[in-house]
């Protein structure tokens, strides 16, 4: 043993074994339900919850990569503009324009519009 | 008699994670004195140190899945002990004055011996209170629980050289303080 040691024997909790055993029993009592819960089979939700941290980290990485890719390569030109709902459904653009403008077309305009779409 | 090698922390932690009470009990027994040493160095009172230890072990079993490196369970546990001790000190500071340590009356017939021991404890606690928190922790882990410099350095997040330096300074300060007290007592006699 090293002679420089300070003798902390009087502060040693193991000096009073009964007291230490009481403390250890108290810890064991309080820990028992927690250990029992660990022995119980996990539900699907608990299984997923265990992966929450890696999943959050992965989501954050994907988000950062997506945002940086959009900022770098995302164009603002009309060519890359997304199609409107009317275009996707197949409504003629003239008709969609009338609906948006809230103005009534003349019968002649309707006929012309239908002819051009056919 | 051939000693069986101790079960490594990593294995005990893995078994405790699936609810093995025996494995958890072994961990508690293995680290109780170290946890107590750190709690005592932070709280300065034996009663508070005991409470902090108990809370820390319960917190440890609650959060055992967060222990990323089970082979370093000891260092991870001591961080919990430090946090619990800090929380207790804050609670006491807000709620009232300084903590009061209740001295248990001697249960055996040797009351004189108990008094002597109590006085010695008091002197040591006073001397420890003069040290910095890290010095207290280092000297108690080394001289009370027999931790190696490398283990202490890992636990407190410093280099082995710095851990040695803290120990040297702590012992020097303690000897100066305890020596002074002894001299004063001698003069009074």
The hierarchical CATH code for the domain B1-97 is: 1.10.1740.10
B1-97 and B111-189 in the same fold? no
**What is the domain partition of chain B in residue ranges?**
1-97, 111-189
Tell whether B171 is within 8 A of chain A (Cβ): yes
pLDDT for B2:
56
Q: Residue A46: which H helix or E strand, with range?
A: helix A44-50
What DSSP assignment string belongs to A43-96?
Answer: PHHHHHHHTHHHHHHHHHHHHHHHHHHHHHH---SGGGPPPPHHHHHT--HHHH
Helices within chain B (DSSP H only): 9-17, 21-43, 46-62, 73-95, 111-129, 133-143, 149-156, 160-188
Lowest-pLDDT range of A105-114, B94-103, B179-188: B179-188
Lowest-pLDDT range of B61-65, B110-114, B124-128, B156-160: B110-114
Q: Does pLDDT of A85 surpass 90?
A: no
Residue A84 sits at φ, ψ, to 5 deg, of: -80, 165
Architecture of the structural domain at B111-189: Orthogonal Bundle (1.10)
CA distance B21 to B57: 13
Residue of B nearest to A41 (CA): B18
Residue B74 · residue B155 · CB < 8 Å: yes
**Contacting residues of B for A11, CB less than 8 Å apart:** 40, 46, 121, 124-125, 140, 144
**pLDDT tier at A118 (50, 70, 90 boundaries)?**
low
Other C-beta atoms closer than 10 Å to the C-beta of A37 total: 13
Give the mean model confidence (pLDDT) for residues B69-89: 93
Model ipTM value: 0.76
**What is the domain partition of chain A in residue ranges?**
84-118
CA distance B105 to B91: 27
pLDDT digits (tens, 9 = 90+) for B135-156: 999 999 999 999 999 999 999 9
Nearest to A31 among B24, B171, B174 (CB): B24
């Amino acid at each position: 043993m090293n002679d420089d040691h300070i003798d902390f024997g009087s502060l040693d909790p193991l000096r009073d074994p009964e007291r230490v055993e009481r403390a250890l029993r108290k810890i064991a009592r309080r820990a028992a339900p927690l250990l029992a819960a660990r022995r119980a089979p996990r539900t699907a939700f608990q299984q997923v919850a265990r992966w929450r941290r890696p999943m959050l980290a992965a989501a954050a990485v994907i988000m950062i990569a997506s945002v940086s890719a959009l900022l770098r390569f995302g164009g603002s030109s009309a060519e890359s503009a997304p199609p409107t709902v009317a275009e996707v459904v197949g409504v003629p653009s003239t008709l969609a324009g009338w609906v948006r403008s809230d103005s009534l077309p003349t019968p002649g305009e309707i006929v012309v519009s239908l002819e051009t779409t056919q | 008699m051939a000693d069986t090698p101790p079960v490594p922390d990593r294995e005990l932690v893995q078994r405790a994670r699936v609810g093995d009470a025996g494995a958890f009990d072994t961990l508690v027994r293995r680290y109780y004195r170290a946890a107590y040493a750190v709690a005592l160095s932070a709280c300065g009172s034996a009663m508070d140190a005991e409470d902090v230890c108990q809370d820390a072990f319960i917190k440890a079993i609650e959060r055992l899945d967060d222990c990323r490196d089970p082979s370093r369970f000891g260092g991870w546990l001591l961080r919990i002990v430090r946090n619990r001790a800090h929380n207790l000190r804050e609670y006491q500071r807000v709620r009232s004055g300084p903590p009061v340590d209740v001295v248990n009356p001697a249960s055996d017939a040797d009351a004189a011996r108990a008094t002597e021991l109590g006085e010695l404890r008091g002197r040591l606690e006073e001397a420890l209170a003069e040290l910095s928190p890290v010095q207290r922790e280092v000297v108690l882990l080394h001289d009370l629980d027999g931790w190696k410099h490398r283990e202490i350095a890992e636990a407190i997040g410093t280099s082995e050289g710095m851990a040695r330096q803290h120990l040297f300074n702590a012992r020097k300060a303690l000897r100066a303080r305890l020596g002074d007290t002894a001299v004063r007592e001698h003069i009074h006699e």
